[in-house]
Structure 1
Amino acid sequence: MNETGKVLLIDGMSFLFRAFYGSAWGGAYRQTSTGVYTNAVYGFTKMMLDYAELVRPTHLMVGWDVASRESLVRSQWFDGYKSNRTAPPDELIPQFELVKEITAAFSVPNLGCPGYEGDDVLGTLSTRLAADGHEIVIATGDYDSLQLVDENVSVKILKNGGKHEHYDPASLRALRGIAPEQVVDVKALMGDTSDCIPGCPGIGEKTATKLITEHGNLDNLYDNLTSCTPKMRSKLEEHREQVYLSQKLATIIRDVPVEFSMEEAVWAYDPETVLNKFDELEFGRSLATRVG
């Protein structure tokens, strides 16, 4: 039997975008003396070290989006999926590759799969690894990941100021009033404007949560529409197809064909390699003192 460990799974895009915008509010972007933008990479590195120190994992992996919006499997299901997304700032674009040089310096695997999103990669990894008995901690800014919570999987949702909310099955129930398996059905009803998931017009988070907690799940709700007010029943009947499409779009895919090696994911690195990369990117002493 393989030895089990504690695996930290990082949502790369969540970390990188949060690092970029968290350090760009003043309009001054960190750069090297040769003009290479590094503010997002610097912030990402700091956050990765913060969570590694907090979680103390035996293994660490980073999941990434690797596809354009048009090539995503969800875009084949719904043409409008994430259609509101704009191009990232010019100062951020070169840092997408630069950040992977940083993770490589730490010997951390960068994992992605064409057509799928980072949370699908993390969902697949967490499902496989939890089944093998590992303890999983996911660090992300995406509340969709709460559907992955179970006895072996906890989720830390990034908040402003370097804080986070910690979710396990008990705290998810206490803080949001739902079980992990109900997360998707609530999203199916309320939709998500950030991802262009339509949901049911006129139903917000509070009503969606109430309907799902009362009925248990979406199927039971639709099997018992007579228990709803005439206005609510009409709304749900009219948008039934759209609601079930939203459920499909919001469901994290857990069988992505992504390959990984636990040996390569061991959280152990050569300090000299890391410090050389820090010097190259002119990170200064504050991060260097944390590497040893």
Structure 2
Amino acid sequence: MNPSGKILLIDGMSFLFRAFYASAWGGGYRQTTTGVYTNAVYGFTKMMLDYADLVKPTHLVVGWDVASRESLVRSQWYDGYKSNRQAPPDELIPQFDLVKEVTAAFSIPNLGCPGYEGDDILGTLSTTLSADGHQVVIATGDYDSLQLVSDLVSVKILKNGGKHEHYNPASLQSLRGIAPEQVVDVKALMGDASDCIPGCPGIGEKTATKLIVEHGDLERLYSNLDSCTVKMRSKLEEHREQVYLSKKLATIIRDVPIEFSLEEAAWEYDSAVVRSKFDELEFGRSLATRVG
């Protein structure tokens, strides 16, 4: 392997949903003349090219969720996991397959594994690739990915308006006051309503961060409950099992059984093939000019 590789890992669902809602808020959905919805695919492609221009990777991979909520590994651990998720809009559903046709036109691997989420795919790849000495940049909208930050792994968290927050170990400490290995422990205490991770009732992000910073990690916090207030100690003792379940749910899995060849992920593509796909989807000139 080339030790100087720079690999861009994209959270496919994060990009696609963000692209869909960014373009759909006004009620208008981009369509082809035959009525095929393309607003999310168009936005995804633009974002992907933007980040490729920014990062200048040698390789690019997109990780995907490929399972229903009920078949997720985490749903087997906790029946309520992501139970609040609504079905995607009808206009978005056909674009799940369409966007993979576009990435395939760029010769980009689309990786997923039944039972696992995109985070787990990116976690497995970033861990393996950085262990081989490669620099890895993860682009996602999910703050859970901050647990993957290391000297060789940085994370760009998508924000509105095409902006992002860039995290490496130093900026994570500066902006959020914690180290990468403390990200999951903070989440274990505060929970995550968006994923139905329960956490410890009555403990928010500020208190969770304070407790983990003071004690170092969850294990040492529970070994030193006597140092907490009576009220806090009571909360933590009562919900201990739930807190540790929350940690398990929030921990990105880094050994997903996926087949991957770095050579297949080289950021090189046939411009004619890409332009042909763009023409088929009636993307127009602005994107076509970006692919040569």
Query: What TM-score results when the alignment is normalised by the length of structure 1?
Result: 0.99
Q: Which runs of 4 or more aligned residues in structure 1 lie more than 4 Å from their structure 2 counterparts after TM superposition? A: none
Instruction: Confirm or deny: 8 A CA contact 2:20 2:40 kept in the other structure.
Output: yes
How far did residue 4 of structure 1 move? 3.2
Structure 1 counterpart of 2:242: 242
CA RMSD of aligned residues (A): 0.6
Q: Following the alignment from structure 2 to structure 1, what is the Cα–Cα distance between the partners of residues 200 and 3?
A: 46
Q: Following the alignment from structure 1 to structure 2, what is the Cα–Cα distance between the partners of residues 28 and 52?
A: 27
How far did residue 170 of structure 1 move? 0.1
Structure 2 counterpart of 1:204: 204
Structure 1 counterpart of 2:283: 283
1:157 partnered with 2:157: yes
Q: Following the alignment from structure 1 to structure 2, what is the Cα–Cα distance between the partners of residues 6 and 26?
A: 37
Structure 2 counterpart of 1:259: 259
1:168 partnered with 2:195: no
Unaligned runs of 5+ in 1: none
Summarize deviations over 1:137-173 as a string: whole Å, max 9, x none. Answer: 0000000000000000000000000000000000000
Instruction: Confirm or deny: 8 A CA contact 1:4 1:132 kept in the other structure.
Output: no
Unaligned runs of 5+ in 2: none
Report SS of the residue matched to 1:289.
Answer: helix
Q: Following the alignment from structure 2 to structure 1, what is the Cα–Cα distance between the partners of residues 113 and 220?
A: 34
How far did residue 2 of structure 1 move? 4.2
Q: Following the alignment from structure 1 to structure 2, what is the Cα–Cα distance between the partners of residues 253 and 259?
A: 16
Structure 2 counterpart of 1:101: 101
Structure 1 counterpart of 2:148: 148
Summarize deviations over 1:62-102 as a string: whole Å, max 9, x none. Answer: 00000000000000000000000010000000000000000
Report SS of the residue matched to 2:120.
Answer: helix
Structure 2 counterpart of 1:36: 36
Summarize deviations over 1:223-264 as a string: whole Å, max 9, x none. Answer: 000000000000000000000000000000000001111111
Structure 2 counterpart of 1:126: 126
Instruction: Confirm or deny: 8 A CA contact 2:140 2:156 kept in the other structure.
Output: yes
Query: What TM-score results when the alignment is normalised by the length of structure 2?
Result: 0.99
Report SS of the residue matched to 2:47.
Answer: helix
Structure 2 counterpart of 1:228: 228
1:270 partnered with 2:266: no
1:53 partnered with 2:59: no
How far did residue 212 of structure 1 move? 0.2
Report SS of the residue matched to 1:4.
Answer: coil
Amino acid at match of 1:286: S
Structure 2 counterpart of 1:113: 113
Structure 2 counterpart of 1:22: 22
1:215 partnered with 2:224: no
Amino acid at match of 2:41: V
Q: Following the alignment from structure 1 to structure 2, what is the Cα–Cα distance between the partners of residues 109 and 173?
A: 33
Report SS of the residue matched to 2:37.
Answer: coil
Instruction: Confirm or deny: 8 A CA contact 2:3 2:132 kept in the other structure.
Output: no
Amino acid at match of 1:167: Y
Report SS of the residue matched to 1:258.
Answer: coil
- Cα distance change of structure 1 residues 49 and 2 upon mapping to structure 2, 3 Å threshold: closer
- Cα distance change of structure 1 residues 3 and 218 upon mapping to structure 2, 3 Å threshold: closer
How far did residue 3 of structure 1 move? 4.0
